[in-house]
Amino acid sequence: MKGIILAAGYATRLYPLTKDKSKPLLPVKGKPIIDYILRKIEGLADLDKVYVVTNDKFYNDYLEWSRKSPFSKELVIINDNTLEDEAKLGAIGDIDYVLKSQGIEDDILIIAGDNLFNFNIASFVEKGYNVKPSASMGIYDIKDIKAAHLYGIVALDERGLIVEFQEKPAEPKSTLAAVGVYLLPNDIARLIPDYLSEGNSPDQPGHFMSWLSKQGKLYGFELTGDWYDIGSIESYNKANESYEEG
């Protein structure tokens, strides 16, 4: 299994914090956000390499960070060769770029680089393996219907199949939110070029997940614990306060 950390966004909503620093490299309690992600996945026995895909603006920053990283498995920094938000490939475009440029034919664990969480990722991966060849997505009950319009919101059937995926809906039907953690078996990852060739959005992963859900190829597994989606300065400050408090 290979890991892909999505870190190629420009995070314009967090300016000026991210004007000269990539969001996953922002410090929380003195450590970059991405370090917390790697610490959570380091113990996965089947994981042998992690690709961090970023852009040309922050590529050298990630190279410098990777040289100092305590992560025990192989880290590869990928430059998607974009320089500004208007030219970005989008999350699905970046995944496609990594898979093609690196010749990856393994299952892939994908994590958005702006996630802070203490979920049991090993349990998520085990459940995902049990439903192969379908894909799996981590979901989290935010328990706030008024805030649900800020997230990708899902509905499950009794088997755990995702039967509906709404990307930032005006009228959410549940409080189960996608958390940016995905397990794509190789057979599912191979469908990304088909998805893109149909003219679908290359941006947020939720669009591809919605496409999979319509084909009955996506399961959702609820993750428990603490989760911070660093999408604004307010959420970043809240995460810092929480981690400082332990």
The full set of domain ranges for the chain reads 1-114+227-246, 119-225
Which of 60-64, 86-90, 143-147, 200-204 has the highest average model confidence (pLDDT)? 60-64
Q: What is the pTM of this model?
A: 0.93
Topology match between the domains 1-114+227-246 and 119-225: yes
Query: Strand 49-54 relative to strand 74-79: parallel, antiparallel, unpaired?
Result: parallel
**Two structure tokens written together for 17:** 């914090």
- 110 neighbors 98 (Cβ within 8 angstroms): no
H-helix or E-strand spanning residue 219: strand 218-222
**CATH for 1-114+227-246, options being 3.40.50.1360, 3.40.50.720, 3.90.550.10, 1.10.1740.10:** 3.90.550.10
CATH architecture of the domain formed by 119-225: Alpha-Beta Complex (3.90)
Render pLDDT for 24-82 as a digit per residue (tens, 0 to 9).
999 999 999 999 999 999 999 999 999 999 999 999 999 999 999 999 999 999 999 99
Q: For 99-109, what is each residue's pLDDT tens digit?
A: 999 999 999 99
